[in-house]
A = this chain, B = another copy of it.
């Protein structure tokens, strides 16, 4: 008698993270400069930690309502309204146990076998995996890199839609490219999706990490509350809370009960005192967010200057997020190159192939680090590229 498969085939088929594969090659080595993960180098601001500690001591250690504590939902609704200068009703806001988990719950709510979801690449690979876990097809459209930076051909995107397309996933500003979708294109896509009843899942976790505006173009001010639109945000990047596991949905009120149910069946939401700290982060953190962008701007300029000056490297100046995603002339196997870079030169960066086939030939470097460490990393990279 032959036994059924150990692991479900759809999940067994999901490849391991190639970012982790490179990072694993550097485990335990203190001499490696780690620029592989998408994470600010500094810890969470102290006042946010203090707010969490105070909430714990006040006994805020029990279950919360499924959609989050009312005070945080209200604080987020007001924040979104202020940021985008449109009314945002609290009934559109649901907390999630990370931006990642919001993507997973959106897929659970919307897709199953027979459905497809369209993604643009290069893209942080985890986004696509959520659709695959649900048994849906993950379709891709490659962004194009030209003299104006990364651009999406909207006609090519829309040409990938068919009767089985349930959702289109957009990460703008994007990881790893920094690609930022202009509002005019968002409007066109929104109209097309409205007509077809296709959901837009807009991963806007880098919305505040932009260098020429206060905030990146968002679907929030363009859409009606009832539109088939799920906007995903996170505390991780703007407030340096990667380890806290908290994000939020802005979604139609009619999706609220479903998101509450799915939250109950997945995580019951972020930890209780983490939610209380979230109120403090938004209420008192504006200066920190702005200071972080200024610090990142210096790092961005340094990264661009050093990389663009190299004869074998081609990149555009990142408009947003905190990655340099650059092409290396003559490098055809980014995974092997990144592994060798760790092993021989002590620089940890992510291989472009980790972000889909469209990323091959590239490397991603997270520049959310100090100028000193970045300079050292670029020096080492130059030696490796000789």
Interface on A for B, CB 8 Å cutoff? 1, 3-4, 6-8, 10-12, 14, 16-17, 20, 37, 39, 43-44, 46, 49, 52-53, 56-57, 59-64, 66, 97-98, 100-101, 104, 108-113, 126, 129-130, 133-135, 166, 195-198, 228, 240-245, 254-255, 257-258, 261-262, 264-274
Rounded to whole Å, the gap between the CB of A174 and the closest CB of chain B is 18
Quickly give the copy total for this chain. Answer: 2
Residues of chain B lying within 8 A (CB to CB) of residue A135: 112-113, 135
**Chain B hits for A271, CB < 8 A:** 243-245, 270-271, 274
Q: In the complex, what distance in Å separates the CA atom of A251 from the CA atom of B113?
A: 28
Task: List, in ascending order, chain B residues with CB within 8 A of A274's CB.
Answer: 271
Q: Which 7 residue pairs are nearest across A and B when measured between Cβ atoms?
A: A3-B197, A243-B272, A53-B53, A43-B59, A44-B61, A49-B56, A129-B265
Contact A262 B61 (CB under 8 A): no
Please measure, in the bound complex, the distance between the C-alpha atom of A129 and the C-alpha atom of B265, giving whole angstroms.
7
Q: How far is the CA of A195 from the CA of B1 in the complex (A)?
A: 9
> For residue A100, which residues in chain B have a CB less than 8 angstroms away from its CB?
264-268
A257 touches B16 (CB 8 A): yes
Q: How far is the CA of A109 from the CA of B111 in the complex (A)?
A: 17
Q: Which residues of B contact A64 (CB under 8 A)?
A: 243
Among residues of B, the one whose C-beta sits closest to the C-beta of A133 is B108
Least Cβ–Cβ distance between A229 and chain B, in angstroms: 12
CB-defined A-B contacts under 8 Å, sample of 21: A1-B195, A7-B255, A8-B112, A11-B108, A39-B62, A44-B61, A46-B57, A97-B97, A97-B267, A98-B267, A100-B264, A100-B268, A101-B266, A101-B267, A108-B133, A133-B265, A134-B134, A135-B135, A243-B272, A270-B271, A271-B274
Known interface pairs A7-B110, A258-B7, A261-B16. Does A268 touch B62 (Cβ–Cβ under 8 Å)? no
* A255-B5 Cα distance, complex, nearest whole Å: 12
Smallest CB separation, A92 vs chain B (Å): 15
A370 to chain B, nearest CB (A): 15
CB distance from A304 to the nearest CB of B (A): 25
- Give the contacting residue for A112; candidates B16, B113, B254, B257; CB below 8 A: B113
> Which of B241, B245, B273 is the one whose CB lies under 8 Å from A267?
B245
Task: Apart from A17-B261, A98-B267, A100-B267, list 18 A-B contacts with CB within 8 A.
Answer: A7-B255, A8-B112, A17-B264, A37-B63, A43-B59, A61-B241, A61-B244, A63-B242, A64-B243, A97-B267, A101-B266, A101-B267, A104-B267, A243-B272, A243-B273, A245-B271, A267-B267, A271-B274
**How far is it, in angstroms, between the C-alpha of A66 and the C-alpha of B335 when the chains are bound?**
21
For A264, give its contact among B59, B126, B264, B272 (CB under 8 Å). B126
Closest-CB distance, A145 to chain B (whole angstroms): 27
Q: Find out whether the CB atom of A268 lies under 8 angstroms from the CB atom of B11.
A: no
Chain B neighbourhood of A110, CB < 8 A: 7-8
B61 near A261 (CB under 8 angstroms)?
Answer: no
Closest chain B residue, CB of each to CB of A130: B265
B4 touches A61 (CB 8 A): no
